[in-house]
Structure 1
Amino acid sequence: MRIGILGAGAIAFGMAAFLAKAGHQPVLWSPSGTRTRELAEGSPLTATGAVEFSGKVAVAGDCAAAVAGADAVVVALPANGHRRVFDAALPHLRSGQPVIISSHSSFGALYLAKRLAARNIRLPISVWGTTLLTGRQQPDGTSVAVNTVRQKIDIATLPKSAAAEGKALCTELFGDRFVAREGLLAIALSNLNPQNHLGIALLNLTRMEKGETWGQGEHVTPAVGRLIEALDLERLAIAESFGLSVRTVQEHFSLSFHVPMGTVSQMNQQMHREGRGGFGPTSADSRYIYEDVPFGLVPTSLLGRIAGRPAVLHEAGTALFSAAMAHDLVADNDLLPELALDKLSPTALTTLCEEWPAKA
């Protein structure tokens, strides 16, 4: 199948390599136009590690070319770029054309669905609780080192009536690794990166600020692990209040990184010993702060308020990082203000996350 990939970072490159190796036809589009320059000039895309691939892949000159004729469109870039890409794709998406958001953040699927409904366009939007893989783009601009391909990925589809269709498509493209969850709201509470990165970045902030090279798994010490586990309990309490079952942080690390169940620190130390712990950010100007706080912690905190289960540690993390960066990170979220979810009851929010919106 021809798959338009909107994004050109490590995840997008890794997905393109994965799809091409499986015999599909990925088409990469870089919103900035810079990250695919060498590929557009004919250099091969190379993936090493958990995905081994080298070959030429198609590059689109604009969003319209990436979307046109695609059997599915994948949004694969940091959440702080989602609205820009949604807005670029909106004029070109056609009814029935599947969209996959990897990974879903801050109710972006609701924003996209609302804007599409205004154009009388209906299509299935499948959302993932995390990414297919982890990795780092290399300085040469044409290669990616893939650290791991996840064994399990939570998935839901908007509208909920298209859940089986969405899961079948994702399985055909990416393999039998998808676990169906109870709708978009469950996925909103299944992305563990923001809470995990809060613990890691907050308690290793000076390493980031000083530009040190440091092993991330190695520095998830017992204290860091306990903070992550406490953050996880807040998320699980919110999910429980909505009657939802979501994966625990321990299950996440075990299934994503193939280590035995234990404490968060124990599992990260095991990943480090096996050479799969990765490296932490080398700058405070990091997605761990500027993506995960506004588009991860802020939506979880909002859900906590709606559910009557305040996410005190999530709220504190947002306030602490905003103070440390001297920047209003809450204001960086450009999706939530368009949705006015804070005015909804838990029941109304649940319904909104399952049904396609009426034409605006």
Structure 2
Amino acid sequence: MKVCIIGGGNGGQALAGVLALRGFDVSLYNRSEQRIERIIKTKKIELQGSISGITYISFATTDLREAISGRQLLLVVLPAFAHREIALKLAPYLEDGQIIILNPGRTAGALEFYTALKQFGVDKDITVAEAQTFLFASRITGPGVVKIFGVKNAVPVAALPAQKNTILKDAIEKVLPEFRIVPNTLHTSFANIGAVFHPASVLLNAGWIESTSGDFEFYTNGISPSVAKVLQAIDDERCAVAKSFGLETMSALEWLKYAYSVEGEDLYEALQLNKAYKGIKAPSSIDNRYILEDVPMSLVPISEFGKVTGVRTPTIDTIISLASVMLGRDFRKEGRTLEKLGLLGKSPEEVKRIMEVGI
């Protein structure tokens, strides 16, 4: 199996290093050279933390065509706001039989990506899929050095169209045994835990982040009992929207047990007990991917799906509005709206079908 990692940030370097350590032929692509300059020269990635070791990938490059040529599995490890852009950049170079997995897709990522390729006129026999979340909690600690704080027990993943789940399963079962195939992308999209944990925690800690440049532990110090109540309200709304489409998705509390084997009386206690989150610092600014990615590409589409079935999402809508005011942007307009996803005016049943078979 030849694998290409698209994105040389925290997650991309961690995933490239781990898959190389597992014995796979790995290439690494990043748009700019600066972040991967050391890896380009040495081909070496040093892993620290939960998975450690020094490993070597086949090559790193800023040439996307070179990076994906002859590679069966393309793992996109980029913020969700870059999914459409990278789909259009990949479109001219894709080859029959390639499998593209968004790590993660956030909400409706595979649909946005799949639709972009169709609009470009791609007629190759490819498979597009999305993971529910990213496999690791990781941070770059130096050039070519990445620390993995924790590894999830399991990550749901689904293909679009869902009939390609068999192809997906055959490709990933040895490469990424942590991945678990679920029926369709409705399951992965509504199980978006980043939407619950990230945006509100940043906004409610904005003063602390801006006064210390994020010099505190994000999950341990930043999520107090009162902040956890807001996260719980967001989670309740997310689950209510999923239920309106006939899905019984895991709550955030259930997911922490599923992914990290952590249990608690409530969300606050479970987050405090999660060893995988220990040592993870807060972002240094509120202008970061926890807002730029998780508001428009997670909270906005969840709110939009709620409109289809008449489920109100007042807490989610408040966080969207607050983020827009604090960053001076219209995240509702920028985000994955029903119109942008080709779902405007569709019935709940039509939306369910499109999320399963595509447009």
* TM-score computed with the length of structure 1 as normaliser: 0.92
User: Deviation at 1:32?
Assistant: 2.4
Which stretch shifts more, 126-135 or 77-86? 77-86
- Unmatched runs of 5 consecutive residues or more in structure 2: none
CA distance in 2, matches of 1:293, 1:325: 11
Tell me the amino acid that sits aligned with residue 27 of structure 1: S
CA separation in 1, counterparts of 2:157 and 2:277?
29
CA deviation vs aligned residue, 1:225-272 (integer Å, no higher than 9, x gap): 111111111111111111113221012222333322431110122236
- Separation in 2, partners of 1:194, 1:343: 25
Q: Where do 4+ consecutive residues of structure 1 move more than 6 Å?
A: none
Matched to 1:179, the amino acid is R
Deviation at 1:128, TM superposition (A): 0.6
TM-score, normalization by structure 2: 0.93
Q: 1:2 corresponds to which residue?
A: 2
Structure 1 residues 77-105: Cα deviation after superposition (integer angstroms, max 9, x where no partner):
11122222111111111232111111013
* Alignment partners' CA distance in 2, 1:205 and 1:263: 24
Q: Distance in 2 between matches of 1:331 and 1:261?
A: 37
Structure 1 residue ranges without an equivalent (≥5): none
Aligned residues: 354
The residue number in structure 2 matching 1:78 is 79
Task: Indicate the residue corresponding to 1:341 in structure 2.
Answer: 343
Counterpart residue identity of residue 347, structure 1: E
- Say whether the 8 Å CA contact 1:152–1:178 is kept in structure 2: yes
In the alignment, residue 289 of structure 2 is paired with which amino acid?
R
Partner residue of 1:232 out of 231, 235, 247 = 235
Q: Does 1:254 align with 2:257?
A: yes
Amino acid at match of 1:311: T
Q: What one-letter code is carried by the residue in structure 1 that aligns with 2:46?
A: T
Match of 2:127 among 115, 124, 134: 124
Deviations 1:250-295 (A, max 9, x none): 12222333322431110122236x8725221121222111111111
Amino acid at match of 1:180: I
2:18 and 2:339 mapped to 1: Cα distance?
35
Distance 1:178 1:212, change over 3 A: closer
Aligned residues of 1:106 and 1:336 also touching (Cα < 8 A): no
Q: Which residue of 2 aligns with 1:191?
A: 192
Question: Which amino acid letter does the alignment assign opposite residue 344 of structure 2?
Answer: D
Aligned match of 1:103: 104
Q: Is the 8 A contact 2:87 2:113 kept in 1?
A: yes
Within 2, Cα distance between the matches of 1:303 and 1:244? 13
Q: Percent identity?
A: 25
For 1:39 and 1:258, the matched residues in 2 are separated by 34
Aligned-residue Cα RMSD (Å) equals 1.9
> What do the CA deviations read for 1:117-143 (whole angstroms, capped 9, x no partner)?
3232232222110011111112x3211
Task: Give the Cα separation in 1 of the matches to 2:24 and 2:195.
Answer: 31
Moved more, 126-135 or 219-228: 219-228
Name the residue aligned to 1:31.
Answer: 31
